[in-house]
Each structure stands twice: as C-alpha cells, then as structure tokens.
Amino acid sequence: MNAVAVHGVGTSHFGRQPGRDLIALAEDAVREAFADAAVTGVDAVWVGTVFGPAGVAQRVLRALGVTGIPVITVENACASGTTAFLEAHEAVRTGRYGRVLALGLEQMSTAFAGAITPEPTDPEGRSGLALPALYAMAAARYLHLGAVTPEQLAAVSVKNHAHALHNPRAQYSGRYTVDEVLASRMIADPLTVLQCCPTSDGAAAAVLAPAERGSRGVGVRGIALRTGAPWNHRSPHVWGHDVVRDTAADAYAAAGLAAAGDVDLAEVHDAFTIGEIVTTEALGLVPPGDGGKAAAAGVTALGGAHPVNPSGGLLSRGHPLGATGLAQVAEVVWQLRGEAGGRQVEGARLGLVETMGGGVSVLDGNACVVAVLEAP
Amino acid sequence: MNAVAVHGVGTSHFGRQPGRDLIALAEDAVREAFADAAVTGVDAVWVGTVFGPAGVAQRVLRALGVTGIPVITVENACASGTTAFLEAHEAVRTGRYGRVLALGLEQMSTAFAGAITPEPTDPEGRSGLALPALYAMAAARYLHLGAVTPEQLAAVSVKNHAHALHNPRAQYSGRYTVDEVLASRMIADPLTVLQCCPTSDGAAAAVLAPAERGSRGVGVRGIALRTGAPWNHRSPHVWGHDVVRDTAADAYAAAGLAAAGDVDLAEVHDAFTIGEIVTTEALGLVPPGDGGKAAAAGVTALGGAHPVNPSGGLLSRGHPLGATGLAQVAEVVWQLRGEAGGRQVEGARLGLVETMGGGVSVLDGNACVVAVLEAP
C-alpha cells in the first residue's frame, strides 16, 4: 500500500455567481490544482457534487483536454467533496491509479432557492425540519442545558468573518461585533442570518499521488468516512455529535495521533455557528461543553491554542455543497505549506478537515469524513 | 488481494411503475439479494443512480434497517449500476470492506418525460442529438456501408422480445415478426419504437464478498471501466464501438481469456437494436461487420453459438438507468448458477456484462464497464 500525498490544490472564487457557468468555475479549480502539482493530466478522477447535472464532470474535463480516463461522480450530501477526496486517496493507496484528481463543484444559486428542504415523505420533512431548523434545535438544546450562551454562538460568527478578512476567495468577511451578529435578521431562532452559511457557487480540486520524499506534497496521515447513522433518540448528544466523534476516532487511529484533537489547526463544517461549537467538542479540540466558551475566549481564533476555520469557514467562504470538502482540503494544504498569508497558523505541522452533513433527507443521510493531513 | 464473488442478487419488477415509490422498488431488490446471499447486512454500500434524488440510497437502506455504514452514491450515466458494481468489487478485492452491497435504482417514469435530452450548451445538444437520434445516426451509417439491413436491425428486436417471454420480470415481451418491428411507429429513422428501449422504473442489487471454495458464489473473473472518450472523428467506427472494444480488451486481459469474446453468454447494452449489433462486434462475439447477420441467422439467439441478452435485454426488460447494469449482473449470475428457467443457456460457465452510455452530454460522458463472471 502507498503512502498518499496531496501534490496540488486549487479553487475557484466563492460566492453567488449565477452568471458564471459551473464548468468555468470548475476549470478555475482544476487549472490551479494542475499548475500547483506541476502536472497536465491524471489517471482517474473522482467528482463530488449533490445537485450538479449528470455528466457535468465530463464536460469540465473535456474543456481541460482531459478525456479517455475513468471519471466517477459521487454524492454524499455535504460530505460529497471529501468523499471524492477519500475515494481518490483509496485509489492511490491501493495502487489502483497512479495520480488522481478529486474535484468538488456546486452551483447553489441556480440549483436551489432558499434553504435546502427535506423530503416531505420523511418524518423530518413532515416536521418542517429544513436544515436551519435542525441546527436551531441543536442550538436551543445547548442553550437550555446552559452549554452555550447566545453571545458565545455569535462569537463563532465574529471570529470566522474576521478570519475571512485575510481570505480573498471568501464570499463574505467583516469585523462584526457580537451585538451586530445577534441583531441581524432571524432565520431560525436562535440562529440569525450572520450565523448561517450563505448560498454559494464554487469548485475546488486536489491532485493526489504517492508521497515522495523531499517533495512539497502534503501527506494524508489518516482519513475515515462514516455514513448512515439515523437520528439517535437514545443519545444525550445533539444531531451530528456522535457521528463526528466516531469518524474522528477512526481517523485519529489511522493517523496514529497521540491524543484526540492533537492537531495544529482544523477546518470544520460550520454550516451554522452551533455546528462549529458541537464539532469542536466532538473532535476533542476542546473539552465537552467548552465549545462556546472556547470561541468567546479566542481559543479557537487565529493566535489561539486551537485555531478553527482560519479560512473563515463555511460561514464566510460560502457552502457550495460538493466543493466545500475540497475547499477545506485546499486551505489545510496551504496552511501546512506555510502559504496562507495573513491567516497563516505559524508552524502548523498537522491539520484536520471535517465535513458532516445530512442529505436532503437529513436524518437518514448523515455522512461524515475526517482527514488528518501532515506538512511536507 | 482477494478473489471476489457475487454471493446473491435481486431485482424489482421492471416497467412503468409511477405509483410505486422508488424506495419500495429498491427494497424489493435488496431484500431478494440479502436472502439470496443468506445475509442480513453488509459493511458498505455503493449505489448507482443518475436521476435519483440526493439521499435516496440512505432512505432505502434505513427502510431495511441498514444504518451506520458507509454509503457512497455514484453516477456514471447508463453505466452507473455497473460502476457501483465495479467499486464494490474493488473494495472487496483490496480488503477495504468484507461484504459490500451494490445497488442500482431509477424511476424514469417520474424523472423524465420522453427521450433523454442532451445539454443545449453542448455541441451535440445544439445539433438535436437526443439519444435515439444518436443511435439512429449509427444505424444510418451501418446501412450506408452495407454492414446491416433494416431486416437485420429488426431481427435483434424480434430475438430479444422472444427471449423475454421467459423472463417474468421484463417490462415487455412478445412474438413479433421482422415486418411488425419495421412497421411499428418511427422514432428516429431507421429506428422504430420496437427497436428502442422503453421508459422503465426498477432496481437491482448484488452482494459481493471474497470468493469461498464450495460456495455458490459466482466469481468476478475480470472487470474494467473506461470513461470520458469524446466523439472520435478520426475513428472509422460509429459512436461507442471504440470504447466498448477497449474496455472489453481490459476486462479480457484481467480475466485471462484465451480469446476475445470467449464466453458462453453476454448481457449487453441494447438500448437500441443498432447498439446490440455494434456491441457484439466490438466485444469480439462475432467478426467485424457480422453483427446484423448473426442476429438474423440466430447466432446470438438462445440456442445459437453466442447467445446475447437471454433476459430480453434493455429492449424488453426496460432501461431504468442506474438499475440496468446490476440487472444485467443478476441475469448472468442466474445463468451461471443454472437458475434461468426457460431462458437458460445450457452449461454456461462464463458470462459477460457490458454497459455503455453517454451522460446527458452524450459525447463527453461516454462510460463503459465490462465484466466477466464465472460459474461456481
């Protein structure tokens, strides 16, 4: 089995870009990744997308002159991009292909209007559990337990939007105050609009191949996927906590980490502020129940002990579903190569990527991917 | 690396079933495959679908009590089902998972009205090349070259509809004459409606695990995927011939066959009559240019030297895109276990599955999977 490294990454700009073709966005990402890896082609491609039309990947690749090689499109809800990354990793690890492209893409501005709605035939659909409402329930539970305050929720938004001031590819950024975040328009109580990821279009890509000594390739030290856990009514934890914790445990074991959360930075799935708080706890980056306090105290900010979402996260970069996981990978690769500019985590050696989502059927389609990457 | 076998298969009924939920159709297939394999669960699932809504696979599996395991949905146009089969095979071969379900599903009656239309932004879309028109061009070319006659084209339809008389799961069957086929409604000259696969809903599934001596598992002796070849203007062959030929060469090499096409039966992608003719030539089942003659002479009929589509093929069974490849696998498994009833190919030891399709963008999205299966 091969040790696997990421030899190049690229992304489009992120934002509402209905006037740009999805293929053009994906071209931007693949061209940059190919140039970064100093390659002009690959042996196979895995593509992650949720709403991308059938054949979209092949059209992107033809535009780049990449034809005649296996292309497999995967869908795994918000984790589609990292699922493509995981499958590409597996193909290189086992020697099935030598050099593989993982590509994520989504054009939410044309695919969907408003919040993603669950299937009306599912129990959660009948209950009106669109995704903002689902996360709002988790936030309400945390508030009820005294595990977070409204101000701590808002602190995640303040932090990530400030991080994004240093990320020219992000959709939004800004120096907000906690009061401004709390005063912004209510979407699903207690989550205001500045606590929700925006509708976004974009693409991201990574080139994977066997690790080479002396190269600038970023090693994939451990990676894991879990899927399919339904709502667990018997768990004391809110939606998503258990699957993130269990997937992380698999990834940490694969990476041989000394302790859970023993990484220098993490890009996590902050589709909503409560999501980052629950996830930092589930990943073991902070003690159980300390997610909100850590955000408010700057522990998870750039310069803090456990920087989370230095890119600005989904809250700032935007959340083009299939692209998100690979945009997270790109950020961690830049960080581990010391190329993250004003948002650089100094001396970062180990970085974590976590993506967790439900499908349109939020309760059945839980999928989580966690990866630990290592500096060259 | 493990030798891999198919330990159980199952399918739904095939046909226009808009009143049945896609999940119920898939349940039929998975329940039968689990019972056939004498298992109650698997370690991971690959699902093939083109138009299935996001999360559909997870909903199917929850209905069966299969939760908490990795589920990866793949899309590869008409080859989505066999791509799921190939990925499941790879996961068992490399030891990534012990027992894997490959599931294909599609509900064409609700997803689409009429022929699949290409993207209007693509060259083929601007040229009006819906899939029946594309196959009609290939047929017209063969007619022009004298490589086929209208009666030979019709003979494929006569043969496959007659085969389907013995397949209770098929959408259509019948004892047609060549004249009746030629007199049926014209869809895309020279292809009449009885020469085109019907709009169909259905699902099919297979359980894969390492081969065990003494079991009734059907071995996967060789399997290959090619994707992405665009229209080749420099090839003397019609659309699809080259990619089928090249993919088959890979599969034959993997299977260690003595000669191309050295199998006892084949289930091939006869979305249109010309498709079967071109494919039997590309696979080496008959000499180049003999596909039409072979069909008319009974060479590719049950009882002939090279039986093709004993199930009745897509022309009779119907073509629910994601389900098709796994329905072909199920048929070959039944044949190789001697369980195909009135359509049994006596003494069959080696069987071939071939699926080839374009995406909605027909020219960019060519994908082909060829597998050679072996009797227990």
Measured in angstroms, the CA of B216 and the nearest CA of chain A are apart by 28
Does B124 contact A at CB distance below 8 Å?
Answer: no
Q: What is the dihedral of CA A151, A152, A157, A159, to 10 degrees?
A: 120
Distance between CA atoms of B175 and B180, rounded to whole angstroms?
10
Does B233 contact A at CB distance below 8 Å?
Answer: no
* Domain positions in chain B: 4-113+197-374
Q: Which of A186-190, A280-284, A285-289, B57-61 has the lowest mean pLDDT?
A: B57-61
Distance between CA atoms of A310 and A340, rounded to whole angstroms?
9
Measured in angstroms, the CA of B182 and the nearest CA of chain A are apart by 33
The length of chain A, given as a count of residues: 376
Query: Which residues of chain B does A124 touch, with a Cβ-Cβ cutoff of 8 Å?
Result: none
The average pLDDT across A172-180 equals 97
Distance between CA atoms of B341 and B346, rounded to whole angstroms?
10
pLDDT band at B360, cuts 50/70/90? Answer: very low
Is the pLDDT reported for residue A367 higher than 90? no
The per-residue pLDDT for range B297-332, each reduced to its tens digit, is 999 999 999 999 999 999 999 999 999 999 999 999
Q: Are B313 and B172 a contacting pair, CB within 8 Å?
A: no
Structure tokens, B230: 């665009």
How many contacts, defined by CB atoms under 8 Å, are there between A and B? 134
Structure tokens, A314: 């989904």
The B residues from 7 to 26 touching A (CB cutoff 8 Å) are 21
Strand pairing of B350-357 and B367-374? antiparallel
- In this prediction, what percent of chain A has a pLDDT beyond 70? 93
pLDDT band at B227, cuts 50/70/90? Answer: confident
Active site residue B368: no
Active site residue A233: no
Q: Which of A221-225, A242-246, B51-55 has the lowest mean pLDDT?
A: B51-55
The pLDDT assigned to B121 comes to 67
pLDDT band at B91, cuts 50/70/90? Answer: very high
CA B19 to chain CA mean position, Å = 25
Say yes or no for a CB contact (<8 Å) between A73 and B76: yes
Measured in angstroms, the CA of B134 and the nearest CA of chain A are apart by 17
Supply the mean pLDDT for chain B.
Answer: 92
Supply the mean pLDDT for chain A.
Answer: 92
What are B373's strand-pairing partners? B220, B351
Per-residue CA distances from B6 to B55, B94, B206, B335, B372 (Å): 26, 16, 7, 13, 12
Nearest to A359 among B51, B55, B227 (CB): B55
Does A232 contact B at CB distance below 8 Å?
Answer: no
- CA neighbours within 13 Å on the CB side: how many for B339? 14
Is the pLDDT reported for residue A231 higher than 70? no
Domain A4-113+197-374 - what CATH class?
Answer: alpha beta
3-state secondary structure of A76: strand
- In this prediction, what percent of chain A has a pLDDT beyond 90? 74
Say yes or no for a CB contact (<8 Å) between A76 and B75: no
Q: Which of A312-316, B16-20, B65-69, B221-225 has the lowest mean pLDDT?
A: B65-69
Q: Are B69 and B43 a contacting pair, CB within 8 Å?
A: yes
Nearest to B74 among A73, A227, A359 (CB): A73
The per-residue pLDDT for range A98-116, each reduced to its tens digit, is 999 999 999 998 876 666 6
The conformational region for residue A338 under phi > 0 = left, psi -120 to 50 = alpha, else beta, is: left
What's the ipTM? 0.86
State which amino acid sits at residue A362: V
Measured in angstroms, the CA of A84 and the nearest CA of chain B are apart by 10
Strand positions, DSSP E, chain B: 4-11, 44-48, 71-75, 100-107, 186-188, 191-192, 201-210, 218-227, 265-267, 350-357, 367-374
Say yes or no for a CB contact (<8 Å) between B230 and A54: no
Nearest to A364 among B59, B225, B230 (CB): B59
Does B90 contact A at CB distance below 8 Å?
Answer: yes
State which amino acid sits at residue A124: E
The pLDDT assigned to B365 comes to 61
Q: What is the dihedral of CA B359, B361, B363, B369, to 10 degrees?
A: -10
**E strand or H helix at A354:** strand A350-357
3-state secondary structure of A134: helix
Measured in angstroms, the CA of B270 and the nearest CA of chain A are apart by 21
**E strand or H helix at A197:** none
Say yes or no for a CB contact (<8 Å) between B228 and A75: no
pLDDT band at B284, cuts 50/70/90? Answer: very high
Helix H segments across A234-320?
241-255, 273-282, 291-297, 313-317
The pLDDT assigned to A240 comes to 85
Nearest to B58 among A58, A67, A228 (CB): A228
Say yes or no for a CB contact (<8 Å) between A72 and B74: yes
Residue of A13, A89, A319, A368 with catalytic role: A319
**Averaging pLDDT over each range in A256-260, B77-81, B182-186, which range is the top one?**
B182-186
Query: Which residues of chain A does B53 touch, with a Cβ-Cβ cutoff of 8 Å?
Result: 119, 360
The length of chain B, given as a count of residues: 376
Q: What residues contact residue B269 under an 8 Å CB cut-off, 6+ apart? A: B78, B275, B276, B279, B314, B324, B354, B355, B356, B357
Which of A60, A110, A364 is best to mutate for the B interface (most B CBs within 10 A)?
A364
State which amino acid sits at residue B28: D
